[in-house]
Amino acid sequence: MTHIKDISETIMIETTTDAVKVTLNAKQYQLDRLEQYQIFLTQKKHLLSGQIVESSEEKLVIQYQKSKQIYSLQEYLKRTELFQRLLLAQKINFLSEFLSSPIQPFIHPANLFLFGEEIIVAHRGFAHSIIPYEITEEEFLKQYRALILTILHPKFDYEQLIEGNGTLKDEFSKRIQRANSVAEIDRMIGEQVVQQKTKRASEIQMVNKRSYFMFKWGTLLLSISTIGLALTTGIYAFDKLPAQERISSAETQYIANNYAGVLTTLKDDKPEDLPSGAQYVAAVSAVQLDNLSNEQKTAILNNISQKSNENTLLYWIYIGRGNFERSLDIAQNLGDHQYILHAYTKLYDATRANNKMSGQKKQELLTSYEEEINKYLEILESETDSNEAN
C-alpha cells in the first residue's frame, strides 16, 4: 500500500496484476452519497471499472478492475525513450475534459495506466462527495504541468513538481514550467513531437533493393491482417465508444435532474444492453417524468436501486419510451399486479389518444384494456382488504 498525493489530498493505493485498490479515510467521502457515486464507477472511455468493496464511517475501499494487458504508466515510462514519452504526453490532454464534469480524476502518475495506446484513470472523485473534489483551472494547470514533466523526466518526483520544485536543466522543460495555460503546454508538446519526427526521419537511411522488396511483401501481408483488425476496431470505435459517451452524458444529465435529457440521450440504446448503472438512471428518469403523484413516485423510487431486479428497471425504461406493450409483458413476467395495472392504463390512454387508428380496432382495444383494468383493480382491492384483515 502506497500513499500518493495530488495537489491537496493523499490517498492509499495498492496496484496488483488484476486490480487497483484505493482506500480513503473518513474525511474524504460522504457515506450517504455512495449509491450515487457507484453509478460513476462503471467503465467508460479513459476510466477503469470500479466497485465499492468496503464502506463504513471509518474508511471507504474502492477496487478498480484491470487486466494483465493494462500497465502502470510509471513502470512503462522507465523503459521508453524520449520520443515515445512525448507521444504519451500528448495523450493526457483528455484530462482537461473533466474540468466541467462531476467526475474528477485523481491526477497522479501512480493512478494512471496504459492499455495499448490509451491512457486510463483508476480512482476518480465525484462532485463534493468523494475526493478529489472539483478543482480550479489554476490548480488543474499545476497538476497538468507537473504530470507532463514527470512523463518527460520519470526520475523526477511528481509531488515536488506540483509546487514548482525540481532541478530542470533543459530549456524545453523550463518553458513548460513557465507555461500559463494547458493549451500553451499542448502546443509546445506538439511542436516538439514534430521536431523529433523530422529528426528521426532524417536519420533513417535508404534501404537496399532487396530489403525494399522484403518490406513490400511483408507490408502486403500485414495489410491483409490489418483489414481484419480494422473491422474489429471499427466496431469498437463506432459502436462501443459512442455508447460509452452517451451513457456518460446521460449520467451527467441525471445529476443535473435533466430527466428528459437522459431518456433522449439513451433512446437509441437497447435497454437490455445498458450497464446496470445506466439502467437505473434511465428507470428513475422515467418514473420522474411519468404522470404520477409525488407520493406514488416516492413510493416507487424507494423500492428501486441499482441492485433491483433487472426486469423492474426495464419495465420503467420501456414505460419512459412509450413501449407499453413491452412494459406489460415484463410486468406479467414479474407477476406484479400494480405494474400490470399501470401498463394497461398506459395502453388505454395511448390508444384513446391515437387518432390514426381505425375506429373499430380502437374500440375493441379500449374495451379489452378497460376489462383488464377493472380486473386488476379488483385484484388489488382484494389484496388490500386481505392485508388489512391480517
- C-alpha span between 358 and 70 (Å, rounded): 60
Q: In terms of domains, do 269 and 197 share one?
A: no
Q: In terms of domains, do 142 and 46 share one?
A: yes
Q: In terms of domains, do 183 and 282 share one?
A: no
The CATH number for 380's domain is: 1.25.40.680
Do residues 145 and 117 touch, judged by C-beta distance below 8 A? no
Q: Return the pLDDT at 102.
A: 86
Q: In terms of domains, do 192 and 57 share one?
A: yes
**Does residue 26 belong to any structural domain of this protein?**
yes
- C-alpha span between 162 and 141 (Å, rounded): 9
Which amino acid does the sequence have at 112? Answer: L
Its sign, for the CA torsion 377, 382, 383, 387, is positive
Q: Return the pLDDT at 341.
A: 93
- C-alpha span between 142 and 148 (Å, rounded): 10
State how far the alpha carbon of 185 is from the alpha carbons of 90, 150, 215, 375, in Å: 10, 14, 38, 69
Q: Which residue has the cell 388490500?
A: 384
Q: Which residues pair with 104 in a beta bridge?
A: 125
- C-alpha span between 64 and 53 (Å, rounded): 10
Do residues 37 and 129 touch, judged by C-beta distance below 8 A? yes
Q: Return the pLDDT at 100.
A: 80
Given 204, 220, 243, which residue is the final one in a domain?
A: 204
**Does residue 242 belong to any structural domain of this protein?**
no
Given 157, 187, 204, which residue is the final one in a domain?
A: 204
The CATH number for 128's domain is: 1.10.510.10
Q: In terms of domains, do 263 and 358 share one?
A: yes
- C-alpha span between 135 and 100 (Å, rounded): 9
Helical segments of 169-275, H only: 171-178, 182-203, 209-235, 241-255, 259-265
Q: In terms of domains, do 177 and 290 share one?
A: no
DSSP 285-322: HHHHHSS--HHHHHHHHTT--TTS-HHHHHHHHHHHHT
Q: Return the pLDDT at 50.
A: 95
**Does residue 252 belong to any structural domain of this protein?**
no
Q: Return the pLDDT at 199.
A: 73
**Does residue 220 belong to any structural domain of this protein?**
no
DSSP element (H, E) containing 52:
strand 50-55
**Does residue 214 belong to any structural domain of this protein?**
no
Q: In terms of domains, do 178 and 302 share one?
A: no
Q: Which residues contact 5 (CB under 8 A, 6 or more apart)?
A: 11, 108, 159
Helical segments of 21-153, H only: 34-39, 73-77, 82-91, 137-152
Full domain range(s) for residue 187: 2-204
Q: Return the pLDDT at 204.
A: 56
Number of domains making up the chain = 2
**123-126: Cβ within 8 A, 24+ apart:** 123/11, 123/13, 123/20, 123/22, 123/50, 123/62, 123/64, 124/40, 124/47, 124/98, 126/33, 126/36, 126/37, 126/40, 126/102
**Does residue 210 belong to any structural domain of this protein?**
no
**Does residue 253 belong to any structural domain of this protein?**
no
Q: In terms of domains, do 180 and 264 share one?
A: no
Q: In terms of domains, do 158 and 26 share one?
A: yes
Q: Return the pLDDT at 351.
A: 93
Q: Return the pLDDT at 237.
A: 40
Q: In terms of domains, do 185 and 273 share one?
A: no
**Spatial strand order in the sheet of 2-5:** 2-5, 10-15, 19-25, 59-65, 50-55
Cis amide bond preceding 132, omega within 30: yes
Reading the chain (390 residues) residue by residue, the pLDDT tens digits are 899 999 889 999 999 999 999 999 999 999 988 888 888 898 888 999 999 999 999 999 999 999 988 989 988 888 888 888 999 999 999 999 898 888 999 999 999 999 888 899 999 999 889 999 988 999 999 999 999 999 999 988 898 898 876 667 788 999 999 999 999 999 999 888 888 877 776 655 444 445 555 555 555 555 555 555 444 444 344 445 477 778 878 887 887 788 999 999 999 999 999 988 889 999 999 999 999 888 899 889 888 887 889 999 999 999 999 999 999 999 999 999 999 999 999 999 999 999 988 989 989 999 999 999 999 998 888 877 666 655
Q: In terms of domains, do 42 and 114 share one?
A: yes
Predicted TM-score of the model (pTM): 0.60
Given 173, 188, 204, which residue is the final one in a domain?
A: 204
Q: In terms of domains, do 24 and 173 share one?
A: yes
Q: Return the pLDDT at 206.
A: 46
State how far the alpha carbon of 275 is from the alpha carbons of 121, 165, 323, in Å: 19, 44, 20
**Does residue 90 belong to any structural domain of this protein?**
yes
